[in-house]
Structure 1
Amino acid sequence: MAPTVSKRIKTLSVSRPIIYGNTAKKMGSVKPPNAPAEHTHLWSIFVRGPQNEDISYFIKKVVFKLHDTYPNPVRSIEAPPFELTETGWGEFDINIKIYFVEEANEKILNFYHRLRLHPYTNLVPSSNNGNEQNTTDHNSKDAEVSSIYFDEIVFNEPNEEFFKILMSRPGNVLPSNKTDSCVYSKQLEQEEIDRIEIGIEKIDKEIDELRQKLESLVKEEAINGS
């Protein structure tokens, strides 16, 4: 006899925040056992709550699909923490599939994360003339690199049984400022927005300069042709 299907709750949506991404650090002369000689970094990829909360009450397992050069590239993590640690030398896209608990009766959530091993190059305003410049903190070349994203999983019209499970735990919230227990925060989000705005301003300036050059060339050709 087939199990009874719980009715879905119309016009209701429930969201649960998660963070996902990777950390990486350059290895020294001492490497983990069985690490290939050409591998230079130790990295970990994960899916977890914003403040390391237990999310296994609604997530059954997480499957990471690594580059095909790795032995057994499809890695299934079926208990928290939903995290995988490996070594490597290059950056590549990792396919992430989140499977929800049976009561959810929800489709698999499928997305990608670009493994980051090296620091970002940040755009910062110059103190002399207001122009932007590329900067790299060479003093932190051996520091841990983080590439972490915040997102919300939205369950539209969850069934009654799954709704009870979701409501059995309080909603996870982000702290207002960066803390040691939560590497992603509103502060980091604002920093990323600032970098994007700086980039937009730089592009707008370059467009204006090119437009002025084009107008000058058109006028010059008109004068020479007359």
Structure 2
Amino acid sequence: MTRESYRAQLEQLREDVLYMSEVVTERFRTALSALEQRDEDTAWDVIEGDGEINELYLDLEQDCIDLLALQQPVASDLRFIAASFKIITDLERIADLATNIGDYTLEAGEERYPDVDVQGIGDAVLGMVEDAMRAYADEDVDRCRAVARLDDEVDASCEHASDGVVRNLIETELDGPVDTDVNALMDDVSRLLLTIRDLERVGDHAVNIAARALYMIENDDELIY
């Protein structure tokens, strides 16, 4: 294989990883919209589209394996391929979490806690994923570190939201005579807490992407550990 062909394969891998990220982020954005609108048809679109993401992941995984096995890359090229391999894994897991949100939309009961800003948290973690992928695309170390810093704010928002749900449940819903279906109440609360947890996990995957991008760019494992 000529040097030019090898470089073209590496560039194609970058473009394909970025394409996968566009599909995943759009799927996640759609899942958030379905949840906000209680749109079951859109939720089903998200759930049924998960197979496309899995196929993209497997194709790119094979591309990474082939480059590692057949080209024996060294130094920066090796870091790029390894980082790309890890990043597509995080993207596939974000897509799985989008599917979870689709499932929660189908199972949604009464909206008991409208003050919990699920959409705000969702928008924040989506922005983190997009920024992490820009860092990968542009080899931007400052953006890598900025994504990691934002994670603390997202974690705090998720903790505040979860604490508020539990506190409200204790103080108002279950304090005194229960005038509602306890099973339905607990199902709704559980779904909301799971939604918050999954959004927090999306933020964690965004940090993983930023960490691998930083390692790829500067051989710096600061954000990995």
TM-score by length of 1: 0.28
Greater percentage in helix: 2
More strand by share: 1
With normalisation by structure 2, the TM-score equals 0.28
Greater C-alpha Rg = 1
